[in-house]
Amino acid sequence: MQLPCFNEYREMFYDSNRKKIIPNNIIDLLTPRGLAFRIMDDGSRQGNGLHISVYGFTNSDVDKLMFTLQEKFNLKCSIHYNRDNKPRIYIFKESMDTLISLVKPYFIKEMLYKLGL
């Protein structure tokens, strides 16, 4: 079932070819709650840090999202590639306390393992 109230978001996060995109104003849109939902969906613990899978995006969109995490939330991160050469954003160990303080209030208890809790 299609709900018209979501059309605005579809237009922001998908191009005319139905390919996922990161909008240019992502720094204004992304909140700690939104980041928590993204991690609960596509995040995974990696050693003492965390990966966020961003497989469906272009390299420039992945960069845009990574720079938003760095600038808006002061998270130290980089881009890692899996065996299939698909990108993931890696959040370093030294930023995990900051990340946890940002997103933990929005996590459901069943997903806290993704934060190592």
Q: What's residue 74's pLDDT?
A: 98
State which residues form the domain around 62: 24-115
Does 45 reside within a domain?
Answer: yes
- State the pLDDT confidence band at 6, using cuts at 50, 70 and 90: confident
Calculate what percentage of the chain has a pLDDT beyond 70.
99
More confident residue, 11 or 98: 98
pLDDT digits (tens, 9 = 90+) for 66-97: 999 999 999 999 999 988 999 999 999 999 99
Does 15 reside within a domain?
Answer: no
Number of compact structural domains in the chain: 1
Does 29 reside within a domain?
Answer: yes
Does 19 reside within a domain?
Answer: no
Residue type, 81: Y
Instruction: Report d(CA 88, CA 15) in Å as an integer.
Output: 21
Q: What's residue 7's pLDDT?
A: 87
Instruction: Report d(CA 17, CA 32) in Å as an integer.
Output: 29
CATH code for position 37: 3.10.28.10
Residue ranges of the alpha helices (H) in 30-95? 32-42, 59-73
